[in-house]
Structure 1
């Protein structure tokens, strides 16, 4: 079965994705950082309100994936909370200084994740040797790898995605980064079974008063009075394309 995972940065977005037909949610905070660990409140709300599988990301900060001892300890604590709350899966990853999978730490994380499906996130796209990394992740028992094929967008990395997907048995290869309605079929055509998308649109703030010249972050050009939200119509349209693919496969 073809699977559509939607990246959501809040419960409202997750509910929209669910209602539009998404198969799974990757739950994150901090979109400008590329996704960080959700808050305790967001995790609790997801368990209470979302009925499709939700896989929270475990990422203590933005930037690279080579973590300090304190950051790694936070990751372990967050996994314990997610497991206690009953999430069926998590999204994580750790690299060493040389751009290889941090095997000692990943072994510890996998032990803590026993009983949950683990997605190794786009840290994979910063790995020195993707095929070696995939073999290592297979040995660890990782369920899937979220990757753009080591390119800025998954469409640009589609050649490597196809090669990795042919490396069976092993983790499911899930294409992510720039996966949208306009290119869904390209990924299906090379045999990928799982796609990851934000399926988003930019929406305006409901605020009438808008203070000019004040930014909440270091990027002063960011519009504080608009944000990206999941577009249910896009999710539904992407899922429709994938359902046609399911029928063809059957």
Structure 2
């Protein structure tokens, strides 16, 4: 059965995701910049009420994915701190000034996060050579790549997503995300055939996930 991760920006959305049958929550804050690291208080609050898997975004700020040494130190410390409060995984991604995967830094972060699995987030979509980037991310030890196929949304990127799934060959999960809705997930899956999909399921311009949208996403995915 194919699985669905919901990006949540508040406690209410995580509980809606769980109620609607989502398989996992990606917890972050600051929707306006695409998600940043939630506070430890927010994570603890969610963890107390959530029984499905909880992955936490590690991203110190919005903007690009090239980080200073101070920012990287914050990321290291947050991973160490959050490992002790019952999360199931982490979501992050670091690139170089010339838009390549920063293998050394990402590998050290993945090592630090062990035994928890890590998702390389949509920083992947900043990379020009996605075939090499895929191999680099695999070499770092990530379990999943969240990507729209290097395009602004998954439908535009569907051919690249299909190629990434083929190239990955079950060595890593390719999780399409970015503009994914119940209205397009079935068509996308026919083309891409991934195992995991990712959506915020926000349909009204708020920051709250829509219960019916998540239910419909699951139904369309496993019809």
| TM-score, length basis structure 1 | 0.86
Q: Which has the higher contact order (CA 8 A, sep 6+)?
A: 2
How many residue pairs get matched? 221
Q: Secondary structure at the match of 1:166?
A: helix
- Kept in 2, the 8 Å contact 1:201–1:228? The answer is no
Offset of 1:171 from its aligned partner? 1.3
- Kept in 2, the 8 Å contact 1:135–1:170? The answer is no
Q: Which consecutive residues of structure 1, in runs of 5 or more, have no partner in the other structure?
A: 204-226, 245-250
User: In structure 1, how many angstroms separate the alpha carbons of the residues matched to 2:44 and 2:16?
Assistant: 18
- Kept in 2, the 8 Å contact 1:21–1:236? The answer is yes
User: Of the two, which has the highest radius of gyration?
Assistant: 1
User: In structure 2, how many angstroms separate the alpha carbons of the residues matched to 1:52 and 1:102?
Assistant: 31
Offset of 1:82 from its aligned partner? 1.5
- Write out aligned runs for 1:1-250 (5 A): 1-167=1-167, 168-190=169-191, 191-202=193-204, 227-244=206-223
What's the Cα RMSD here? 1.0
Q: Which consecutive residues of structure 2, in runs of 5 or more, have no partner in the other structure?
A: none
- Kept in 2, the 8 Å contact 1:54–1:89? The answer is yes
Q: 1:83-112: per-residue Cα shift (whole Å, max 9, x none)?
A: 111211110000011111111111210111
| TM-score, length basis structure 2 | 0.96
